[in-house]
């Protein structure tokens, strides 16, 4: 029963009130990005905020409801993707509980892990519901990979793996910046303020570590890309 106890603690009134605001942030951010013509979605900032402040299950609920409401009120195409949003919230929350939301380079790792999960979860949806080609722009990469003779699942997953990290890492960084801007008194009213206590440390060292992490991630992406572009690989 320990699980239900902690669940009850995570869902206090502040959590219930934060969730609608977070969903609205998701939706409106998705639209601001369109106004600014940026090549990312950033539509899970609110989900990540809730996940970091109120735990994984609150994050998962925010993500799911976000997609459901997006589907109900704005674009019914958003419906089938709710499991992706669910896992984005869940994984962010788990990472935050593990202390991965406390400084710059840890947040980048959180973003990367979330991106990996999102890529894995969205692959079967894209394959079984849409036959691999969805209505989004990144499907051109998938189409190219399909033409070079790769399997549908492999092509879709590789595309997601290349596209997701950029989006999810910038989302995590923005959510982190927002949390840092909140007052301690405000944060303390949420169920898990200890998740986001900023770790003391030399700002410059952390910046270097963050750069290092980014370089390693770029190397991994380049490696995957090269392997994909070699025919028959």
Residues that bind another protein (CB under 8 A): 11, 13-14, 16-21, 23-25, 27-29, 31-32, 35-38, 45, 65, 68-69, 71-77, 79-80, 129-135, 139, 142-143, 146-147, 149, 174, 177-178, 181-182, 186, 189
CB-nearer residue toward another protein: 178 or 209: 178
The DSSP symbol for 199 reads: P
Looking up tokens 């939706």, which residue turns up? 27
Which residues lie closer than 8 Å to 41 by C-beta, 6 or more apart?
Answer: 30, 33, 167, 171
The distance of closest approach from Cβ of residue 183 to another protein in the complex, given in angstroms and rounded to an integer, is 10
C-alpha separations of 89 from 62, 204, 230 in Å: 7, 30, 35
Considering Cα of 128, then 75, then 67, then 43, what sign does the dihedral take?
A: positive
CB-nearer residue toward another protein: 28 or 218: 28
Tokens of 222: 């380049």
Q: How far apart are CA 59 and CA 94, in angstroms?
A: 10
The distance of closest approach from Cβ of residue 99 to another protein in the complex, given in angstroms and rounded to an integer, is 23
The distance of closest approach from Cβ of residue 223 to another protein in the complex, given in angstroms and rounded to an integer, is 25
CB-nearer residue toward another protein: 90 or 113: 90
CB-nearer residue toward another protein: 88 or 113: 88
Q: How far apart are CA 29 and CA 61, in angstroms?
A: 19
CB-nearer residue toward another protein: 19 or 113: 19
The distance of closest approach from Cβ of residue 131 to another protein in the complex, given in angstroms and rounded to an integer, is 6
The distance of closest approach from Cβ of residue 156 to another protein in the complex, given in angstroms and rounded to an integer, is 12
Q: How far apart are CA 178 and CA 182, in angstroms?
A: 7
CB-nearer residue toward another protein: 101 or 117: 101
The distance of closest approach from Cβ of residue 80 to another protein in the complex, given in angstroms and rounded to an integer, is 8
The DSSP symbol for 197 reads: P
Centroid of chain to Cα 110: 9
> Over the range 53-86, which residues count as b (16 or more CB within 10 Å of their CB) and which as e?
bbbbbbbbbbbbbbbebbbeeeeeebebbbbbbb
């Amino acid at each position: 029963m320990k699980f239900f106890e902690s669940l009850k603690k995570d869902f206090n009134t502040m959590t219930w009130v934060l969730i609608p605001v977070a969903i609205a942030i998701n939706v409106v951010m998705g639209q601001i990005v369109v106004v600014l013509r940026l090549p990312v979605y950033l539509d899970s900032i609110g989900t990540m905020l809730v996940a970091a402040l109120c735990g994984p299950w609150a994050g998962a609920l925010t993500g799911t409801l976000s997609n459901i409401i997006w589907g109900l009120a704005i674009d019914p195409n958003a419906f089938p993707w709710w499991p992706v949003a669910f896992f984005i919230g869940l994984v962010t929350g788990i990472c935050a509980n593990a202390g991965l939301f406390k400084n710059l380079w840890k947040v980048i790792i959180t973003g990367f892990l979330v991106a990996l999960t999102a890529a894995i979860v969205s692959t079967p949806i894209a394959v079984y519901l849409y036959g691999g080609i969805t209505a989004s722009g990144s499907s051109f990469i998938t189409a190219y990979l399909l033409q070079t003779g790769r399997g549908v699942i492999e092509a879709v997953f590789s595309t997601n793996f290349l596209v997701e990290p950029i989006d999810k890492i910038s989302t995590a960084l923005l959510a982190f910046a927002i949390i840092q801007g909140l007052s301690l008194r405000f944060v303390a009213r949420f169920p898990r303020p200890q998740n986001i206590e900023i770790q003391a440390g030399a700002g410059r060292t952390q910046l270097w570590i963050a750069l290092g992490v980014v370089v390693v991630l770029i190397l991994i992406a380049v490696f995957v890309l090269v392997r994909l572009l070699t025919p028959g690989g």
